[in-house]
Chains A and B, each alone.
Chain A
Amino acid sequence: MQRNPQLNANGELQHLLSIEGLPPEVLLQILDTAESFVGVTEREVKKVPLLRGKSVFNLFFEPSTRTRTTFEIAAKRLSADVINLNIAASSATKGESLLDTVANLSAMQADIFIVRHASSGAPFLIARHVKPHEHVVNAGDGRHAHPTQGLLDLYTIRHYKKDFSGLTVAIVGDVLHSRVARSLIHGLTTLGVPQVRVIGPQTLLPLGVEALGVRVFHDMRTGLRDCDVVVMLRLQNERMRGALLPSAQEFFKHYGLTEEKLAAARRDAIVMHPGPMNRGVEIDSTVADGPRSVILPQVTFGIAVRMAVMSIVAGN
């Protein structure tokens, strides 16, 4: 087996490509560092000079506004220079290869590449070919991983539940196509959450998902019973009708989170969603806007978590 390509020879984080394979200490280091940055984001002058003089390239091969923006804000709060590249609309359409694009940007003195790509594993390929002082942060690759989202989910859970050791967490919906789900599952199992559940129809669960250390449920009421945390996944528009699901309405009937279904969870359960939400498809508005929803705090924590990741990789 090859060495985990995201750790350097000292076992420190060189790139952040996936939560899988990272030791718990590294995850906790990121969460603790993020905690120290939450204060910064609430100050009047929201900047620290940790990445002054460094260049962060937002390399998005797949369109995204939300994630790109939070990375941009995080980098700017660390005083880095941020360059946004919407590759989908430039080089790729001109036939330039992925590695050529990266080599060109590398020649422009990049320090950190934030990469989003539609193909699973693309950031691994880039990480194998960048210079030793350059760092790659995966901002979502295909169905594979979205580690900063997973980390901000972990941060949110720790913020509200203080401790991972007694929790039951349910992840609901389209796990098959979800990089968010995969990253969160690895994070939760690494940090010792005793019960991680996935809930969805067979068509939206990967084959043999149990191997990731989760229990599979197909029914919301049994799956949500006594849960401390409920994570709803986004259902992509193109998956709402076809061979995977008959309709958004029918999905909502079975798996949409309503107050009534949520009643099966613990009374102090929190509800999370990586956004953007489809109200009335995976989540009912009364739940999304209700007292147990922590969906907006997730976004705020996301900036601190991304600041933590960038400052840690750049420091190693």
Chain B
Amino acid sequence: MRIHVRNGRVIDPATGRDAVADVYVADGKIAEEFARPDRVIDAKGLVVAPGFVDLAARLREPGFEYKATLESELEAAAAGGVTSLACPPDTDPPLDEPGLVDMLRRRAGALSRARVHPIGALTLKLEGVALTEMGQLTDAGCVAFSQGNHAMPDSQVLWRALQYAATFGYKVWLRAEDAALARGGVAHDGEMATRLGLPGIPPFAETIALGTLIELARATRARVHVCRLSSAGAVELVRRAKAEKLPLTCDVAIHHLHLSEMDLGYFDSHCRLEPPLRSQRDRDALSRALAEGVVDCLVSDHTPVDEDGKHLPFAEAEPGATGLELLLPLALKWGEAHQLPLAATLARITSEPARVLGVDAGRIAVGAPADLAIFDPRAAFQVSPQTLKSQGKNTPFLGYELAGRVRFTLLAGSVVYEG
């Protein structure tokens, strides 16, 4: 299929290019100008951007198919303009052996809705005790190694895992949370937890673990990506680590960029998230840090949860929120608040995560894969269970009026979504 995308506002965040232009697609790649296309897409008034790259999207397979399936969630990815995504290993069983990774890649490949990059388990069964066969997992297609939302309680194992990964240049993606300090906690240890009588997770559960992680990264020179920062203190630690040129990157989730503990309201279980929503000061620090580039990427932290998992008292509710379809509108909302050029805003969900992931994505240039998100940045919609394709309807943003709707998603030169 040869496609001519006409008159769109073409934005390539990797180079900062932002101009009305035509884009030609042939053989799955962005091509030079040609005549007689098979299809013309009129993109007048629309933005033509690289397909979005999401570093954290749980597809729930294998093991949690009652919450979501590859079919439903890759449909959601396409509807959200997400063409590349990394999925954490905390499935059931976890992605700790090559056969599982291979099966996931085949299943996702057959659906051809988005490029799925599995993150392998760093330790067997995510127990934090024994290393996985990272070499074989890499051969099977794992792009990095992680504990998902599981703890890494033993610093010695963490140290050895980083040494081993650094030896072969494998990337390690971890959340920073001290398991002992976070034990039993379900909300930020602040004013709301005090008022609602919820067991708290103090911010130093994050900074202490991050301090350890940074020290070990310094000692081993492992390439560490810190997932889902939640506190102002963590931002400062990352800022200092980057100043000394440690090979460290990090991300923040859409929820922590826009919400705070105050959104728990009257025990809204949609706000039961890992890490917890923290204070408004923390949220503002994260938002600024993303604008400054101290935080590299914005992720959806997509975690579909079924209704039964949320219709529970706050502490018992299953953590997580659906997010793939909200990544773009919430990125736009954030960029607007900081008055950033659209290219800079989109970089956080395209070229920057592609750099962390180490894949060829997130750019518009002749010869690049023709993964495109064509969207109307001003089209408003209300977030509701009906507007979400994901099987998970759980999000604290239900009822929000947001702007930014994807009209076309192209994956390797084929239209995989039209809305």
B312 with A207: CB separation less than 8 A: no
**Considering the chains assembled together, what is the distance between the CA atoms of A206 and B202 in angstroms?**
11
Chain A window 112-149, contacts with chain B (Cβ cutoff 8 Å), 1 for yes, 0 for no? 00000101111011000100000000000111110000
Q: Does chain A have a CB within 8 A of B189? A: yes
CB-CB under 8 A from A212, the residues of chain B are 194-195
Interface stretch, picked from B74-82, B88-96, B154-162, B313-321, is: B313-321
Chain A window 50-93, contacts with chain B (Cβ cutoff 8 Å), 1 for yes, 0 for no? 00000000000000000000000000000000000000000000
Given contacts A207-B189, A207-B200, contact A182 B195 (CB under 8 A): yes
B194 with A2: CB separation less than 8 A: no
Q: Does chain B have a CB within 8 A of A277? A: no
CB-CB under 8 A from B267, the residues of chain A are 120-121, 124-125
Q: Which partner residue on chain B sits nearest A146 by CB separation?
A: B197
**Considering the chains assembled together, what is the distance between the CA atoms of A182 and B267 in angstroms?**
16
Q: Which partner residue on chain B sits nearest A205 by CB separation?
A: B194
**Considering the chains assembled together, what is the distance between the CA atoms of A142 and B199 in angstroms?**
10
**Considering the chains assembled together, what is the distance between the CA atoms of A143 and B197 in angstroms?**
5
Interface size class of A (residues with CB under 8 A): 20 to 34
Given contacts A119-B315, A207-B194, A212-B194, 9 further A-B contacts (CB under 8 A): A98-B313, A120-B198, A121-B314, A125-B311, A143-B199, A144-B196, A207-B189, A208-B190, A208-B194
Q: Does chain A have a CB within 8 A of B193? A: yes
Q: Which partner residue on chain A sits nearest B263 by CB separation?
A: A1
B266 with A5: CB separation less than 8 A: yes
Chain B window 190-215, contacts with chain A (Cβ cutoff 8 Å), 1 for yes, 0 for no? 11011111111010000000000000
**Considering the chains assembled together, what is the distance between the CA atoms of A141 and B313 in angstroms?**
10
CB-CB under 8 A from B193, the residues of chain A are 206-207
Q: Does chain B have a CB within 8 A of A211? A: yes
Q: Does chain B have a CB within 8 A of A179? A: yes
**Considering the chains assembled together, what is the distance between the CA atoms of A144 and B192 in angstroms?**
11
Q: Does chain B have a CB within 8 A of A244? A: no
Given contacts A207-B194, A211-B194, contact A121 B266 (CB under 8 A): yes
Given contacts A99-B311, A121-B313, A144-B196, contact A207 B202 (CB under 8 A): yes
The 16 listed contacts between A and B (C-beta, < 8 Å) are: A2-B265, A2-B268, A4-B266, A97-B308, A117-B313, A121-B267, A129-B311, A142-B315, A143-B198, A179-B197, A207-B193, A207-B200, A211-B191, A211-B194, A211-B195, A212-B194
Chain B window 103-146, contacts with chain A (Cβ cutoff 8 Å), 1 for yes, 0 for no? 00000000000000000000000000000000000000000000
**Considering the chains assembled together, what is the distance between the CA atoms of A144 and B196 in angstroms?**
5
Chain A window 131-172, contacts with chain B (Cβ cutoff 8 Å), 1 for yes, 0 for no? 000000000011111000000000000000000000000000
Q: Does chain B have a CB within 8 A of A20? A: yes
A119 with B313: CB separation less than 8 A: yes
**Considering the chains assembled together, what is the distance between the CA atoms of A211 and B200 in angstroms?**
16
Q: Does chain B have a CB within 8 A of A209? A: yes
Q: Which partner residue on chain B sits nearest A117 by CB separation?
A: B313
Within 8 A of B (CB), among A256-312: none
Chain A window 158-195, contacts with chain B (Cβ cutoff 8 Å), 1 for yes, 0 for no? 00000000000000000000010010000000000000
A120 with B266: CB separation less than 8 A: no
**Considering the chains assembled together, what is the distance between the CA atoms of A4 and B316 in angstroms?**
22
Q: What's the nearest-Cβ distance from chain A to residue B381, in Å?
A: 22
A1 with B196: CB separation less than 8 A: no
CB-CB under 8 A from B202, the residues of chain A are 207
